[in-house]
Amino acid sequence: MDAPVVNEEFVLSALCKLLDAAPYHKIIPIIPKLCEFIQWFDVNDLHEYRLMIYSRVNEAVRRQEEIEAFRRFDKFHCMLYI
């Protein structure tokens, strides 16, 4: 009887904490599954958790794009130097 209550808020809160602790390159491969999972929670009062999760996903995508742009830039300069 003393077990914690597992409801939508608990699950989304735990997911937010996990995403905050995860490095962005680990989030990138699971983005489609994350988005699919989040769509199951259409409760209006939990909208803030969905926003936090989507912002973390967007941040991971932005960082990945920055690294890819840097690699292309670095590769271009290496080729130019050669």
Q: What total of structural domains would you count in the chain?
A: 1
Give the residue numbers spanning the domain of 57.
8-81
Most confident of 1-10, 49-58, 73-82: 49-58
Q: Is residue 1 part of a domain?
A: no
Q: Is residue 2 part of a domain?
A: no
Long-range pairs of 4-10 with CB within 8 A, sequence gap ≥ 24:
8/41, 8/43, 8/46, 9/46, 9/49
Q: Is residue 51 part of a domain?
A: yes
Q: Is residue 3 part of a domain?
A: no
- For 41-65, write each residue's pLDDT tens digit: 776 778 888 889 989 999 999 998 8
The angle subtended at Cα 61 by Cα 49 and Cα 47, nearest 5°, is 15
| Confidence (pTM) | 0.70
- For 9-37, write each residue's pLDDT tens digit: 888 899 999 999 999 889 999 999 998 88
